[in-house]
């Protein structure tokens, strides 16, 4: 647990300093050092800023406010540029807009935005898109009076009369579930606090299943609730996950026949099922958990499809009868392939759609369930992203999928799997003078220092010359097997139109090139993630896309860890860095099981209670490896209510950097006191954060318009 510091003095020195051509500004805050000894494996670390862990203390709040004031002072000269960027980015958004409706259980469902409004309005129309609109939830009205407001898990009962939804007003991802009568428009008295926000409806239209989170924000219990009950005191515990490295969840099968109960860690999963017609029954385990065995299940007729890594690093597809679900009964449908990652499936009455990944790109494979004939969709671009969209209907030949590239706005298609006809339903409109023909995107393969080939996706405005003089921004993540696929951003046009080259580095730690790509960038191979990013950055310089005086790097969360590690390893390679909600105090956080999400992360980073992992983590942990050297210009952001990476990690890191670094480059720390890990809520508020980050880079380049 976090120890108390009885006496704490926060020293804030006020003075003047000339910063990159700006007029004199307030000197950055200087945080008091209160040495705190941390001993593990006969290794002693002294953490002088450990006191910042004391959430809600006056001293901590004052320090964060002083940092915000300093950031505002340094960036004051860019306020007109920030506003211009914000208006420019906002101006590309069609304010009066709505999603493509999807049909489910007699209704067309969609969400829409009204002009000038921050939040969505959830709507439906009965049987026909020409029918009168029914507004289920107007989040703009619901959010009045709140600095932060998030609605998730909008879920209508089988008889179409009640909608359930989760609300978070703090940005800690602790949701209260509410129920609304869609016939009367009134909220029911029933509500459930401290949940993940989602529910699964039983077929009786009264019973729901939901997941509770513990003090560490880990979903660990699944309860059964009746919407006729006002509170949750009488709810029955259906499932409890006692292993702190596992997280529980619940959902309803697409067939509507089963409630599915799941629990998973990084390396293992376990599923159970219960008839949705018998909510008082006992869930039956499909396959008991085994260390290293991952699987997921999809119901189809009298069997389950099973995606598993059983003897298959890149996963394979199996099937098993509903009555005999243990792995000894699994029969192979699609074998393992060393060059293709099987990511997911979508089941229809007559078709099976396979979501695959090959050579760093997504593929959609269509299989006829009767004839077993198959084909792949052709997307027609060198660099793109495609994925299965919302497909609640079972008996239909139409596949709803989404598509984008770095030059193509988000597009929604219906694809007739029987005839091959493809219909573009909607492409996100970019308001103003935009044409994809003005931009060019490329895929390069960068040779890493160990010989591995790393894919990078590049986009720029046509006419850019590879003369080494272009500003460039390289983005990376590289953790949890999360693939950073190329995508379109209308906000990004503000950089591209000012001559920037934008790059996504598909580094190890993601799954762009399969499961091995992930495993080669985690645990005791984590350093590959950082050196891959450096090698990709060096490629941009060597290929004359840019030079170190015009190259910027950006990453958030685990990508913020990437920024911190790279800043320590190759600070000379970048003009500036933007580290968003960065995970930078790796060792201390992974040793503190009271911090949310820690125990579930051992399979990703390792358990520092093991001496080998402790020393390896310490070797790259950005906070522990801060040294007396020059660092790039840096902007560090966080949310005070962040549940994923606690605010004090970047706060401590910035304080240590200020005290240790040997340069006069700008170091800014910006805390959103109303937000969490995802930043501000609302579609326009978040754009101000983007404008601020862009202004930071342009300011350093001397670009004022």
Q: Is 229 a catalytic residue?
A: no
Cα–Cα distance for residue pair 259/271, rounded to 1 Å:
10
The secondary element (H helix, E strand) that includes residue 375 is strand 374-376
Please say whether the beta carbons of 504 and 475 come within 8 A: yes
Residue 232, SS3 per DSSP: coil
Please say whether the beta carbons of 262 and 247 come within 8 A: no
Farthest-apart Cα atoms in the chain, separation: 77
- Residue 597: which pLDDT band, with cuts at 50, 70 and 90? low
Cα–Cα distance for residue pair 699/118, rounded to 1 Å:
28
Residues 6+ apart with CB under 8 A from 28: 67, 70, 658, 667
Please say whether the beta carbons of 349 and 372 come within 8 A: no
Cα–Cα distance for residue pair 343/499, rounded to 1 Å:
36
Residue 439, SS3 per DSSP: strand
Domain boundaries, the chain: 433-460+472-701
- Per-residue confidence (pLDDT) for residue 646, from 0 to 100: 86
Q: Report whether pLDDT(32) > 60.
A: yes
Q: In this predicted model, what pLDDT tens digit does every residue of 631-682 receive, in sequence order?
A: 999 999 999 886 778 899 999 999 999 999 999 999 999 999 876 666 666 7
Q: Report whether pLDDT(447) > 60.
A: yes
Q: Report whether pLDDT(468) > 60.
A: yes
Q: Report whether pLDDT(230) > 90.
A: no
Cα–Cα distance for residue pair 109/433, rounded to 1 Å:
32
**CA dist 631 → 17, 566, 670 (Å):** 18, 10, 18
| pLDDT above 70 coverage of the chain, percent | 95
> For 301-310, what is the mean pLDDT?
97
Question: What does the mean pLDDT of the chain come to?
Answer: 92
Q: Is 56 a catalytic residue?
A: no
Cα–Cα distance for residue pair 329/479, rounded to 1 Å:
34
Q: Which superfamily is assigned to 433-460+472-701 in CATH?
A: Alpha/Beta hydrolase fold, catalytic domain (3.40.50.1820)
DSSP 8-state class, residue 468: S
> Which of 265, 258, 259, 187 is CA-nearest to residue 223?
259
**CA dist 607 → 389, 562, 653 (Å):** 37, 19, 22
> Which of 284, 324, 287 is CA-nearest to residue 309?
287
Q: Report whether pLDDT(532) > 50.
A: yes
Cα–Cα distance for residue pair 507/453, rounded to 1 Å:
10
Q: Report whether pLDDT(440) > 70.
A: yes
Please say whether the beta carbons of 34 and 8 come within 8 A: yes
Cα–Cα distance for residue pair 14/5, rounded to 1 Å:
25
Please say whether the beta carbons of 704 and 698 come within 8 A: yes
End-to-end CA distance of the chain: 49
Which tokens belong to 645? 């990476």
> For 492-512, what is the mean pLDDT?
98
Phi, psi of 8 (to 5 degrees): -140, 125
- Per-residue confidence (pLDDT) for residue 612, from 0 to 100: 97
C-alpha 653: how far from chain center:
22
Cα–Cα distance for residue pair 607/568, rounded to 1 Å:
23
Q: In this predicted model, what pLDDT tens digit does every residue of 363-408 receive, in sequence order?
A: 999 999 999 999 999 998 889 999 999 999 999 999 999 999 999 9
Give me the catalytic one of 557, 621, 643, 681. 557
- Per-residue confidence (pLDDT) for residue 4, from 0 to 100: 28
> For 185-197, what is the mean pLDDT?
93
Q: In this predicted model, what pLDDT tens digit does every residue of 54-108 receive, in sequence order?
A: 988 999 999 999 999 999 999 999 999 999 999 999 999 999 999 999 999 999 9
- Helix axis angle, 527-542 relative to 558-569, nearest 10°? 70
Please say whether the beta carbons of 275 and 283 come within 8 A: no
- Per-residue confidence (pLDDT) for residue 176, from 0 to 100: 95
Strands (E), 219-330: 219-226, 236-240, 247-252, 258-264, 269-275, 284-285, 295-300, 303-308, 316-321
Please say whether the beta carbons of 296 and 287 come within 8 A: no
The three-state DSSP-derived secondary structure of 417-482 is CCCCCEEEEEECCECCCCCHHHEEEEEEEEECCCCCEEEEEEEEECCCCCCCCCCEEEECCCCCCC
DSSP string for 88-150:
HHHHTB-SSEEPPPEEETTEEEEEEE-TT-SS-EEEEEESSTTSPPEEEEEHHHHTTT-S--E
| pLDDT above 90 coverage of the chain, percent | 86
Strand 247-252 to 102-104 pairing? unpaired
Residues 6+ apart with CB under 8 A from 327: 287, 293, 295, 308, 310
- Residue 424: which pLDDT band, with cuts at 50, 70 and 90? very high
Residue with more model confidence, 676 or 271: 271
Q: Is 642 a catalytic residue?
A: yes
Strand 247-252 to 187-201 pairing? unpaired
DSSP 8-state class, residue 69: H
Which tokens belong to 46? 């002294």
How many residues does this entry show for the chain?
705
Give me the catalytic one of 47, 355, 535, 642. 642
Q: Report whether pLDDT(525) > 80.
A: yes
Q: In this predicted model, what pLDDT tens digit does every residue of 153-182 receive, in sequence order?
A: 999 999 999 999 999 998 778 899 999 999
Q: Please calculate the CA angle 317-322-325 and round it to the nearest 5 degrees.
A: 65
Lateral strand order in the sheet of 187-201: 150-156, 162-168, 175-181, 187-201, 207-213, 219-226, 236-240
């Amino acid at each position: 647990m976090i120890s108390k510091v009885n006496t704490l003095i926060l020293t804030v020195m006020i003075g003047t300093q000339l910063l990159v051509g700006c007029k004199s500004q307030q000197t950055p805050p200087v945080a008091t050092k209160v040495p705190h000894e941390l001993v593990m494996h006969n290794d002693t670390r002294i953490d002088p800023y450990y006191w910042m862990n004391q959430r809600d203390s006056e001293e901590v709040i004052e320090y964060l406010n002083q940092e915000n004031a300093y950031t505002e002072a340094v960036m004051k000269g860019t306020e007109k540029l920030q506003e211009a960027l914000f208006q420019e980015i906002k101006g590309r958004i069609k304010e009066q807009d709505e999603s493509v409706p999807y049909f489910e259980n007699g209704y067309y469902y969609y969400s829409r935005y009204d002009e000038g409004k921050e939040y969505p309005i959830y709507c439906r129309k009965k049987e026909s898109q020409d029918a009168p609109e029914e507004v289920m939830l107007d989040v703009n009205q619901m959010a009045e009076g709140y600095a932060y407001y998030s609605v998730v898990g909008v879920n209508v009962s089988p008889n179409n009369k009640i909608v359930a939804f989760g609300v978070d007003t703090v940005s800690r991802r602790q949701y209260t579930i509410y129920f609304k009568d869609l016939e009367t428009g009134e909220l029911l008295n029933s509500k459930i606090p401290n949940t993940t926000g989602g529910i699964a409806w039983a077929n009786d239209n009264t019973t729901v299943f939901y997941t509770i989170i513990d003090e560490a924000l880990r979903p660990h219990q699944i309860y059964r609730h009746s919407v006729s009950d006002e509170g949750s005191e009488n709810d029955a515990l259906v499932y409890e996950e006692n292993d702190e490295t596992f997280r529980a969840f619940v959902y309803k099968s697409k067939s509507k026949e089963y409630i599915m109960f799941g629990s998973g860690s990084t390396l293992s999963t376990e599923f159970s099922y219960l008839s949705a017609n018998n909510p008082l029954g006992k869930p039956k385990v499909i396959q008991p958990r085994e260390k290293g065995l991952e699987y997921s299940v999809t119901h189809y007729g009298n069997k389950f499809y099973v995606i598993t890594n059983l003897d298959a690093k890149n996963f394979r597809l199996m099937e098993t009868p509903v009555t005999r679900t243990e792995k000894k009964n699994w029969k192979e449908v699609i074998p393992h392939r060393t060059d293709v990652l099987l990511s997911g499936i979508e089941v229809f009455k007559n078709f099976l759609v396979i979501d695959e990944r090959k050579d760093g790109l997504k593929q959609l494979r269509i299989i006829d369930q009767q004839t077993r004939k198959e084909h792949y969709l052709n997307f027609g671009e060198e660099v793109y992203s495609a994925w299965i969209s919302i497909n609640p209907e079972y008996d239909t030949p139409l596949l709803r999928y989404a598509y984008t590239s770095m030059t193509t706005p988000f597009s929604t298609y219906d694809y007739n799997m029987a005839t091959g006809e493809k219909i573009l339903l909607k492409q996100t409109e970019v308001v103003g003078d935009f044409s994809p023909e003005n931009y060019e995107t490329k895929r390069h393969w960068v040779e890493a220092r160990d010989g591995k080939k790393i894919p990078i996706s590049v986009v720029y405005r046509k006419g850019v010359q590879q003369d080494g003089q272009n500003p460039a921004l390289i983005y990376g993540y590289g953790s949890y097997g999360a693939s950073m696929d190329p995508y379109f951003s209308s906000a990004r046009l503000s950089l591209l139109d000012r001559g920037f080259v934008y790059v996504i580095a598909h580094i190890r730690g993601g799954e762009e090139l399969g499961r091995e790509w992930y495993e080669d960038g985690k645990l005791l191979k984590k350093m590959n993630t950082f050196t891959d990013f450096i090698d990709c950055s060096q490629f941009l310089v060597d290929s004359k896309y840019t030079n170190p005086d015009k190259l910027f790097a950006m990453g958030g969360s685990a990508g913020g860890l990437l920024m911190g590690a790279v800043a320590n390893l190759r600070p000379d390679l970048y003009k500036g860095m933007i580290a968003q909600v960065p995970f930078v105090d790796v060792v201390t956080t992974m040793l503190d099981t009271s911090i949310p999400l820690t125990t579930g992360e051992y399979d990703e980073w390792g358990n520092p209670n093991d001496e080998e992992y402790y020393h390896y983590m310490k070797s790259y942990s950005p906070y522990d490896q801060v040294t007396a050297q020059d660092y790039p210009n840096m902007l560090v952001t966080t949310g005070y209510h962040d549940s994923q990476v606690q605010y004090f990690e970047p706060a401590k890191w910035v304080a240590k950097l200020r005290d240790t670094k040997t340069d006069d480059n700008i170091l800014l720390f910006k805390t959103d006191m109303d937000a969490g890990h995802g930043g501000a809520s609302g579609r326009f508020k978040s754009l101000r954060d983007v404008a601020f980050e862009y202004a930071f880079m342009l300011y350093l380049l001397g670009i004022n318009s």
